[in-house]
Every structure is written in structure tokens, then in C-alpha cells.
Structure 1
Amino acid sequence: MTQIHPATTPEDIAAVRQLCWDYRTHLAQVSPVDAQLVETFYPAPKYTALMDTLTQAHARPQGIILLVKLDDAPVGCAMSHALDTQTSEIKRLYVAPDARGHGIARKLLTALMEQARADGFTRILLDTSVTLTPARALYAGMGFSERGPYQDTPEDVLEHLVFFEAQL
């Protein structure tokens, strides 16, 4: 049975942090370009600091951290935070490889979109690697449109990223 809920307990947050590290490892193994993107945006010391402040960066009411359990085992996470009063950004949507094929990513994305709408946001943004074809198909299939960068991004990595936007 799949359960999605806000990560609020110390155990939940620890599980999310582990899933985030798993996600970072996964991205670094996708391709040499993705490994370089990981090191550009999330070198280990910076990622450690990010994990230490995860609950503050995605705190309610301007954000949320979701944890997915499949048969009581943590298998996925996703989070959002405000970029401005109208815009929410999705970060680190990840489902462990052995839990894929259950529609978990779609459920996570739907839950984040519904929460952002309920919180008063009118649009939601995210970015992903060009090489993550299933993720790109999911976002397009759920009403996201490709757009240009919405944050400062080094020129040399722009061709390796895809930016998406959806109206809520």
C-alpha cells in the first residue's frame, strides 16, 4: 500500500534526507554530464548544508516536504518552497528504483500541485536534466510546459537542463 504524507517527525525527516542522498547518487550515475551537474550545483559540502536546513527551506506554510512509503518502507520524496508570493518551486522529486512503476511520482507531483494551489500559489516551476526522459514525460503529461530558466544558471550547463512551468 502506498502512503504519501507530510514529513514532520524526526524519523520521517531522516528518511527524506536519506532519499535525497540516494537521489544525488542516482543523478551522478545517469551520465557524465549529470555527474558534472551534481558537482556544479550540489557538491557534497553544499548538499550536506542543504540537508541540514531542509525543514527550514521547505517549511509550512510556504512549502512542504512529502514522504512516500510503500508497504511501510520509505521509497520516495518531494518538496516545494516559495520563490515569491505567487510561485512555488518543486525540488528533489525522487522515487527509489525498486519502487518505480506504481505511479508514485505522479501521485507526488499531484499532491505538491494541490498543496501549492491550496496555499494560494498560481504557478509552479521545476527543472530537471535533459537526460531524465521519464521525468520530462511525466511533467509534460501533467500539464507542465517547457520554458526558459527562472533562476540564474551558468551558461555552460543551460543546454543540459529543462525548465518547466504549470499554472495552478
Structure 2
Amino acid sequence: MGVTLTSVTTAEDLDAVRALCWDYRKTLIDNDPIDLQITETFYPVPKYRALMDRLAAEHARPKGIILLARDAEGRPAGCGMSHALEPQTSEIKRVFVPETHRRRGIAAHLCTALVDQARADGFARVVLDTSTHLPAAKHLYDKLGFTRRGPYQPIPEDVLPHLLFFEKSLT
């Protein structure tokens, strides 16, 4: 695969992850009109900018982590992060691989590392959600042994048909 994963600890790596997160947001906006509406509703630019400013704190060790994938040339090839949602539940957020690096198993590598870290950190389960308009993500989470479930936090009724929720037991 020629990809390395590192826990983000430097300003340079955090900047690379933020750039990937902005690319992820743009990918969602460009993906489908519904994803555009959901993204603009839940993460308008000012709110997303504020999230990016506090990204390191939101996913800080010891109960969270931010991972950066780099290709063999050292270029950012993807990211993913997790944080404690509840004492026994870790939530995976913003797993993203740019188009130039897709179909190389990077997203699976990121997710597996996030699950392994959550298990090592003592969590009993991992949850995540994705858009119904991202078939590759649905396939990935199914392949990695996540099971589909209902929403794990309050979601507006009009958005529910456009999201899928997943869980993986770590015990």
C-alpha cells in the first residue's frame, strides 16, 4: 500500500488534516443535493471553521485520536479521527481519502486503526454515521464488520432518511 498512519501531534500534521477536512466538506457538498443541504445546515462555513479551530481538543488523547495517512512520497493521503461520545462509546468522525488516493485500502486502514485504538483505550463500542449517498462508505463499514443501527444521537426527522448509522462492539 505504501501508506503510513501517524497520530497527529504537530502543527504541520494538524494543518494537513484540516485541509483534508475542508476537502471532505467540499466532497459532500458536490456529492448530492441532499448532502449539500445537510452539510450547509449542520456545518455552515463559520461553524465548520470553529470546529477546525478546536479539532485537536475535540479528538485529544487519551479518549480520542486524529490519524493522518501519508503516501510513500509523504503527501497527505487521508485522515480519520475519533472521540469519546459516552464513557463506553467512541465515535469515528471525518474518515476521508481524497480522490487521488482512493481504491488503495487507505480508508479501511484508517478505520481499522481507529477501532483498534478505541479498543486499547477501553471503549466497549464504536459508532459512526454516513450519508446514504456515499455507497463506498456503506460498503466499507459493512466489510469491516460494523452493524447497522438506529441513530445514536438526536437527528431531525427530515434528515434521518439520508443517513446510515453503524456500530461495532469491541468486547
SS in 2 for 1:91: strand
* 1:101 counterpart letter in structure 2: R
Which 4+ runs in 1 deviate beyond 3 A? none
- In structure 2, the partner of 1:118 is 120
- The residue aligned with 2:35 is 34
SS at match of 1:120: coil
Is 1:99 the equivalent of 2:101?
Answer: yes
Please tell me the residue identity of whatever aligns with 2:68: L
The corresponding residue for 1:167 is 169
Q: Deviations over 1:126-150 (max 9, x none)?
A: 0000010010010011110111100
- Provide the rounded CA distance (Å) in 1 between the counterparts of 2:6 and 2:18: 15
Give the CA deviation at 1:49.
0.3
Secondary structure at 2:96 match in 1: strand
Match of residue 2 from structure 1: 3
Q: Which amino acid aligns with 2:15?
A: A
> Do structure 1's residue 156 and structure 2's residue 158 form an aligned pair?
yes
Other structure's SS at 1:81 match: strand
What is the match of residue 77 of structure 1? 79
2: CA distance between counterparts of 1:165 and 1:20?
Answer: 23
Q: For residue 108 of structure 1, what is the amino acid of its counterpart?
A: L
> Which amino acid in the other structure matches residue 6 of structure 2?
H
* TM-score, structure 2 normalization: 0.97
Structure 1 residue 82, shift from structure 2 partner: 0.2
Q: Aligned partners of 2:76, 2:145: CA distance in 1, in Å?
A: 27
Deviations 1:29-58 (A, max 9, x none): 001011001111111000000000000000
2:132 match: 130
Aligned residues: 168
Which residue does 2:59 correspond to in 1?
58
5+ residue gaps, structure 1, are none
Cα distance in 2 for residues equivalent to 1:64 and 1:149: 23
1:68-103 Cα offsets, whole Å, 9 max, x none, are 001200120000000111100000000010101110
Give me the identity figure in percent.
58
Corresponding position of 1:44: 45
Deviations 1:3-49 (A, max 9, x none): 10101100000000000000000000001011001111111000000
**Separation in structure 2 between the aligned mates of residue 37 and residue 70 of structure 1, nearest angstrom:** 31
